[in-house]
Chain A
Amino acid sequence: MSPDFDPIEAHLTMYMTTQAPHAIRTVIALVAGHVGLSEEKIRVIASDIGGGFGGKVPVYPGYVIAIAASVLIGKPVKWIEDRMENLQADSFARDYDMTCELAATKDGKIQGLRIKTLADHGYTDAAANPSKYPAGMFSICTGSYDYGVAFTEMDAVYTNKPPGGVAYRCSFRVTEAVHAIERMVDRLALEIGKDSAQLRMENFIKKEQFPYHSPLGWEYDSGDYGPALQKAMDIIGYDELRKEQAEKRKNGELMGIGICSFTEVVGAGPSKDFDILGIKMFDSAEIRVHPTGKAIARFGTKSQGQGHETTYAQIIAQELGIPDEHIHIEEGDTDTAPYGLGTYASRSTPTAGAAAAVAARKLRDKARKIAAYLLEVSEEDLEWEVGKFFVKGAPEKSKTIQELVFAAYTNHPQGMEAGFEATHYYDPPNLTFPFGSYICVVDIDKETGSIKIRRFVAIDDCGTIINPMIVQGQIHGGLTQGLAPAMFEELIYDEDGNMLNGSFMDYLVPTSVESPKWETGHTITPCPHHPIGAKGVGESPTVGAPPAIANAIIDALSHLGVTHIDIPITPLKVWNILVEKGVIEAV
């Protein structure tokens, strides 16, 4: 990041890689306003910032030092963090030690859940958490299943590690919660000798139970879990795989099938419950259509490659009938964009995307008034079809959106405000609850413990899909980020607190070789409270992949008496288990 303080104007311009430019500006003003860094004199500019995944939300000490240096010397200062510093001193995520108990009848009807968690948050808490939820959305841990009782408690501890608790591509600790319940359901299936897919099917919350009130207090907006799991089973050929597995076991070969049927909670959030540092978690859109029918739209969010420029333009195009190539999307400049809390926690489409639709509808209402004036009919006599208003029963009498916009600047009705511009700050009535079912098949080499993901099928339901290619791209990437903690990535410390793998030489980010060819599909269960029915998708795959992979690996070893392995599940861990169980001999 690069703060540039102009001592003459007492103005601070900061070019920085932040996912939440407005929030950063406000935090600086709240902390340093009294020494002259007043909010109107601060401009945060975040352009192409690279992937964020949660790590670019917090305020880091380096920011503060760089700002102070720039103010003191009156010159631009640049603070660069290299990769080793990033791994060793940047904030980290996960590191939850969870003890879970699941109560069920002997035939597998789940009755209750209890989870106790010890959470490592490093030397200071780096989480930008909703104030009311110190453990974030962890209480989604009851999962996709219908039962009445649950209890969860968490102790967060300070350690001498870097700041902890960042929600890495995860809506405030949903990843940990889903891992707990999805591992427990597999554990139950193993305990009672029931197929884990069947057990899930029997316990799913049913379609007609939505909106569903979970035992820990969420209102799930909509869902239809059975068809998503069934679709994944059909695509992967689940029954045949189970037969193949039984055959392989007879020959001493190790093959496993793992399922995860997750429920996500994203789109933070409704102002009655959600704020960060007191600032409510609405988000915003401002659409300005120029006289010739071309538009600029600005947002309080900040894309890091999620394709907001495409998705937002499509929403506006669909609502207003202006071609998306005529809509310029802009984010990341606090001097020009309307206020919003930024992009993370899969919140952009549920909040700012909704704001875009509502703002566009305000403009459509204005266009209707202008059309009535120009066509000399009452507003009720007009019908909308994407791109134009026409007179009911006389479709030849019509005005295109471009004609109506031009009229808003050149020939608007007397008494009407001129121009064609609308802003909306969208405060969602509820969170959104995307879901999905993933199935993973692994083959394990007995001699080396190496794990090969043979297939991975991901069926996601994120409600209405705005751009299928972008949604699929989000899922591919999220799955690889879910593969990472399941099998590779871990920050390892020695007894004295020294990090042992502080570079990409030995912190193993999956390459194209470790990543399988992801197979994706979807079901569509629209969100009932979002203007266009969308729920958000970016984080579902990161949440859903780790338990599917862990369940598959553990399933491959379950006949040996293995019931659980902590992630990341490395070849060495598997090899040690195979030695311990007498399958192979250590040489």
Chain B
Amino acid sequence: MANITVHINGVAQTLDVEPRLLLVHLIRENLNLTGTHIGCDTSSCGACTVLMDGRSVKSCTVYAVQANGKEIMTIEGLAQGGLHPLQEGFKEEHGLQCGFCTPGMIMRCVDLLERNPNPTEDEIRWGISGNLCRCTGYNNIVKAVEYAAKKMQGAEVPAAETVA
């Protein structure tokens, strides 16, 4: 067993873990934060995406011991006194249906907008191409990210357009 300290959503947690334990299992099973999902076994789908020191990682491809001393943020830690602009964008623009991919998709987009605050549609599509969604066809996820980008730059964001 390895003794690690992980700062998860701002709270330091010290645990004994097996060296082979994956970060996603630490998050879901040891810490009971089940907003982070497991959608495949091959790092293909991105449902398990979380932030590690501010950068998005697929937590099924990271060992828990690699997170020792790091800041981990999951979907549960994102809302601070109201929804994060991305969460708001997904809600306003109908960016989710079943919701399974949504936590990973949003955590990926936090990093995307951090690196590129004003992305083009093409940059958003490439930016989320490591995260699979089976429900939305991606149109409205792109719009949700555009909504958040505007909001995070302080622009007034109109309510979602009425669909003709």
Which A residues are within 8 Å of any B CB, using their own CB? 48-51, 53, 82-84, 304-307, 468-481, 503-505, 509, 511-513, 515, 517-518, 521
Contacts and interface: CB of A to CB of B under 8 A. Distances in A.
A479 B41 contact: no
Looking at B98, B121, B126, the one whose CB has the most chain A CB atoms below 10 A away is: B98
11 contacts: A49-B98, A51-B100, A470-B94, A477-B135, A479-B137, A503-B42, A511-B129, A511-B132, A512-B142, A517-B139, A518-B139
A272 to B, nearest CB: 33
B42 A83 contact: yes
B98 A512 contact: no
Contacts of A469: 94, 160, 163
Contacts of A511: 128-132, 138
Nearest to B130: A511
B141 A51 contact: no
B40 interface: yes
B41 A82 contact: yes
Contact of B97 (A51, A471, A513): A51
Given A305-B97, A476-B140, A511-B132, 13 more contacts: A469-B160, A471-B163, A472-B94, A475-B137, A476-B138, A481-B134, A504-B44, A512-B133, A512-B141, A512-B142, A515-B137, A515-B139, A517-B139
Interface string B140-164: 1110000000000000000010111
Interface residues of B, number: 36
A504 to B, nearest CB: 4
A305 B164 contact: no
A511 B129 CA distance: 5
B99 interface: yes
A475 B41 CA distance: 29
A49 B37 CA distance: 12
B129 A478 contact: no
A504 B137 CA distance: 18
Nearest to A484: B134
A110 B148 CA distance: 52
Nearest to B44: A504
A504 B139 contact: no
Nearest to B46: A511
A506 B119 CA distance: 29
Given A477-B136, A512-B142, A48 B97 contact: no
Contacts of B129: 511-513
Contacts of B24: none
B137 A476 contact: yes
B56 to A, nearest CB: 15
A113 B1 CA distance: 69
Interface of A is mostly: loop
B108 to A, nearest CB: 11
Contact of B138 (A50, A468, A472, A512): A512
B125 interface: yes
Interface of B is mostly: loop
Contacts of B98: 48-51, 304-305
Nearest to B127: A512
Given A307-B97, A503-B41, A512 B125 contact: yes
Interface string B54-96: 0000000000000000000000000000000000000000101
A371 to B, nearest CB: 34
A50 B136 contact: no
A384 B98 CA distance: 37
B39 interface: yes
B23 interface: no
Contact of B134 (A473, A477, A503, A512): A477
Contacts of B141: 512
B128 A512 contact: yes
A473 B140 contact: yes
Looking at B128, B134, B160, the one whose CB has the most chain A CB atoms below 10 A away is: B134
Contacts of B135: 51, 305, 473, 477
B136 A473 contact: yes
A511 B98 CA distance: 17
Contact of A504 (B40, B97, B125, B140): B40
A512 B142 CA distance: 9
B133 to A, nearest CB: 8
Contacts of A477: 97, 134-137
A504 B41 CA distance: 8
B45 interface: yes
Contacts of A48: 98-99
Interface string B96-108: 1111100000000
A517 B137 CA distance: 9
B59 to A, nearest CB: 15
Contacts of A512: 124-126, 128-129, 131, 133, 138, 141-142
Contacts of B160: 469
A479 B134 CA distance: 11
A479 B137 CA distance: 7
Contact of A513 (B96, B125, B134, B140): B125
Given A512-B141, A515-B138, A517-B121, A503 B44 contact: yes
Contact of A306 (B97, B121, B134, B139): B97
B85 to A, nearest CB: 19
A472 B94 CA distance: 10
Contacts of A479: 137
Contacts of B134: 51, 53, 477, 480-481, 509
B137 to A, nearest CB: 3
A468 B161 CA distance: 11
A481 B98 CA distance: 15
Nearest to A478: B137
Contacts of B42: 83, 503-505
Nearest to A514: B129
Nearest to A471: B163
Contact of A503 (B40, B162, B163): B40
B35 to A, nearest CB: 11
Contacts of B163: 468-469, 471-472
A77 B151 CA distance: 46
A259 B132 CA distance: 27
A106 B23 CA distance: 66
Contact of B45 (A53, A307, A476, A504): A504
Looking at B38, B42, B137, the one whose CB has the most chain A CB atoms below 10 A away is: B137
A82 B41 CA distance: 7
Q: What are the 4 closest A-B residue pairs judged by CB atoms, nearest first?
A: A305-B98, A476-B137, A305-B97, A504-B44
Contacts of A503: 40-42, 44
Contacts of B125: 512-513
